[in-house]
Amino acid sequence: MRKLLLTLLLAATALPALSLPFIENDYAKALARAKAKNLPIFVDAWAPW
Amino acid sequence: MKAYVFTDKSLERYAGQFVWLAIDTENSKNTAFLAKYPIRVWPSLLVIDPKKESVALKYAGGATVPQLRKLLDDGRRAVMGTGARTASDEAIARADRLANDNKPAEAAVAYREAIAAAPKSWRSLGRAAESLVFSLTMARDNSRCVEEALVLYPRVKGTYSAANVAAVGLGCATELKEDDPRRANAIAALETATRETLEDKSIPLSGDDKSGLYESLVSAREELKDEAGAHALRVQWVALLEAEAGKAKTPEQRAVYDSHRVSAYLALKQPEKLIPMLEQSERDFPKDYNPPSRLSLAYKAMGKYDEALAATERALARAYGPRKIGIYRNRSDIFALKGDKESAKKTLEEAIRYAEALPKEQRSDTVIASMKKKLETM
């Protein structure tokens, strides 16, 4: 079952051009920016497999 | 999602409405994030309220573009307090926080409350139904998981949420005890629901969603020891994967199907079919450990142990984080199959040292204990 979910949700293996300005692997930076701009943070928590 | 969803131009209107953060959970730079927001399903999508530093929405799974738009709208409403908030909106937000805090049984109660209080045409019914069934499987409450899936499926039938409700429910049904009188009927009903969802052309399922549904159907047939039924499904599964990979417009999109094709061809006992596609991916993504790691599985299944070992060496040179343990373990198994017991043992010892040195947010005591137990038998 968990195997199913993992497979259902597989991420890709490399980064093409994104339409959205993602900050990579820096929660502190995202948090500071979100507080300053009064915006929610959207997180894509993924793994390269 | 990086290959198919986040590149979609229609999402650009959301660009200024959020701060966007991508977290690679294998990367040790993210341990502080993982301590606060543990991730147990990949990918997981979160909307965080920065003032409270708390989860406003958490979704276990990937999303298509229309689904993501809905999640973004819901997450923004939850954080900014815009729009009318119902008791169900409050309950689902509480449930998401409980799920984040690793309290799946309590989260399930809150998701159920949200559904029970739902106004007609509640916009989050599908997500609540998926999350409820998923929380029950995380809580290992297979019996309730099946009950809820059977009750909720007709309510979400014909929508994207039907896929997870049916397939996760089917997984729970196969895990009911074999002498449970409900087991056979539950499996049959949820297999029908899964198949119906797979074949419903009005649901905008992605190729990897469809692959996941096939995998679920195959697993159910395997659980029932119906080898002929499982084989017939594997053949359809591979046909779907080849068609979807054939439609890919970029190497990134094509590589999304690599892991699915590895599972399907290994199950079909045709590992040789994997070699050309994985070699292509290794050329397209020379820094990625996945193609050589997958090649090693294919070569191992073909009995070509030297090629398999060479592939694990390339994979280890590129890998990082907890995933590297799996590559070490595979390498140890290949040495054992080759009859080189000494190298098998040394490699497993190396894996244990590596696993023990990981930051605590990435370390798994269960994995370490299982490797130590295996080492004792070597």
Question: Is B15 in Cβ contact with A41 (below 8 Å)?
Answer: no
In this predicted structure, the answer to whether residue A14 has a pLDDT above a threshold of 60 is no
Contacts of A20 in chain B (CB under 8 A): 6, 11-12, 14-15, 20
Of A11, A16, A43, the CB nearest to B48: A43
Cα separation of B291 and B205, whole Å?
26
On whether any CB of chain A is under 8 Å from the CB of B241, the answer is no
Which pLDDT does position A13 carry in this prediction? 39
- The nearest alpha carbon in chain B to A45 belongs to B23
**Summary mean pLDDT of chain B:** 94
- The partner residue sitting opposite B290, judged by closest CB among A6, A25, A49, is A49
From the CA of A11, how many Å to the nearest CA of chain B? Answer: 6
**C-alpha to C-alpha distances, B257 to B1, B3, B274, B306, B344, nearest whole angstrom:** 12, 11, 11, 26, 31
Query: 3-state DSSP call for residue B269?
Result: coil
Q: What band does A8 get if pLDDT is binned at 50, 70 and 90?
A: very low
Q: Which of A10, A27, A39 sits opposite B256 (nearest CB)?
A: A10
Question: What ipTM goes with this model?
Answer: 0.85
Look at residue B62 in the predicted model and tell me its pLDDT: 87
Q: What 8-state DSSP symbol labels residue B272?
A: G
Cβ contacts (< 8 Å) between B175 and chain A: which residues? 1
Q: How far is B89 from chain A (nearest CA, A)?
A: 17
Helical H segments across chain B, by residue range: 31-36, 65-80, 87-100, 104-116, 125-138, 142-156, 161-174, 183-199, 207-223, 227-247, 251-256, 258-267, 274-284, 290-302, 305-318, 323-338, 341-356, 365-376
- Portion of chain A with pLDDT greater than 90, in percent: 53
> According to the model, what pLDDT value does residue A48 have?
81
B357 Cβ neighbours under 8 A, 6+ residues apart:
none
Calculate how close chain B gets to A47, using CA atoms only, in Å: 5
Stretch 291-310 of chain B: residues touching chain A, C-beta under 8 Å: 291
- Interface test with chain B among A2, A3, A5, by most B beta carbons within 10 Å: A5
Answer left, alpha or beta for residue B113, where phi above 0 means left and psi between -120 and 50 means alpha: alpha
What confidence category does residue B8 fall into, taking pLDDT thresholds of 50, 70 and 90?
confident
Does B7 sit within 8 Å of A19, measured CB to CB? yes
Q: Which residues does residue B215 pair with via DSSP β-bridges, in sequence order?
A: none
pLDDT(A15) > 60: no
The per-residue pLDDT for range B326-375, each reduced to its tens digit, is: 999 999 999 999 999 999 999 999 999 999 999 988 888 999 999 999 99
DSSP, collapsed to helix, strand or coil, labels residue B266 as helix
Phi, psi for residue B206 in degrees, rounded to 5: -80, 165
pLDDT of residue B178 exceeding 70: yes
Separation of alpha carbons B362 and B355, rounded Å: 9
A31's enclosing H/E stretch is helix A27-37
pLDDT in tens, B110-125: 999 999 999 989 999 9
How sure is the predictor about B163, in pLDDT bands with cuts at 50, 70 and 90? very high
Question: What pLDDT sits at residue B7?
Answer: 86
pLDDT in tens, B32-61: 999 999 998 899 999 999 999 999 999 998
Q: Report residue B217 as tokens.
A: 């159907």
Confidence band, pLDDT 50/70/90 cuts, at residue A6: very low
Give the per-residue pLDDT at B232. Answer: 97
